[in-house]
Structures are given as structure tokens and as C-alpha cells.
Amino acid sequence: MDKRYTALRVIATIYKIIGVLVALLTVLAVVLMIVGVAGNSRSLAMYGLAGPEMIVIAVISTLLGGGLGALGIFAVGEALFLLINLEENTRYTAILLRDRQPQ
């Protein structure tokens, strides 16, 4: 069977790649936050935030926001592939049923 929707496949792949990149950047941001705060405790104090509680809140909120964003973007790519596969399976089933009918 021929492959259709080439542009949609490319878009879905791009969404999945962006989702992975967002996840990696989120992890990198959290690591840099932890390393930066450990090395310079005044980095959050200049924004009016101080104390280990605020650091933990900042790290958790970054993980949640970035993780959910990455998951959502990746899910869009997967949903596009799901729709493409649904169309392919429906077309294949229609061809099989058409060929089975008596003439």
C-alpha cells in the first residue's frame, strides 16, 4: 500500500522531536538551577526568594511545567500518527471488503 500524508508524517515527527527537546531542556534547566543555587545562594535572593523551600518549589514547578509541556507536545505527534494509522487501516479494510463481495 502506498504511503499517504507525507507532510502530516513530517509534522508529527517534528512535534515528537520538539517534545523530546523540551523534556531535555527542562532537565537541563533543573540541573542548572540546582547547581547555580548550590554555588550562589544569592541567585534567588535577588528576586525576593530565599531559603531552601523556595528552591524546592522552583525546581518542582519547573519539572511539572516543562514535563507536562513536553508530554503534551509529544502527545500531539503521537495523535497525528494515530490518525494516519487509523486512516490506513480503514482504507485497507475497505479494500478487503470490496474484494470479497461477489460480482
Residue 79 inside a domain? The answer is yes
Mean pLDDT of 2-26: 95
32-59 per-position pLDDT tens digit = 888 876 666 555 555 665 667 777 888 8
Query: What residue numbers bound the domain in which 81 lies?
Result: 6-100
Sign of CA dihedral 8, 12, 17, 21: positive
76-101 per-position pLDDT tens digit = 999 999 999 999 999 999 999 988 88
**Is a pLDDT exceeding 90 seen at residue 10?**
yes
What pLDDT score does 34 carry?
83
Residue 1 inside a domain? The answer is no
* Torsion angle (degrees, nearest 10) of CA 37, 41, 43, 46: 150
What pLDDT score does 48 carry?
61
**Model pTM score:** 0.80
Residue 96 inside a domain? The answer is yes
Name every residue whose Cβ is closer than 8 Å to that of residue 11 and which is 6 or more positions away in sequence. Answer: 80
Residue 21 inside a domain? The answer is yes
What pLDDT score does 1 carry?
61
Number of domains making up the chain: 1
Residue 80 inside a domain? The answer is yes
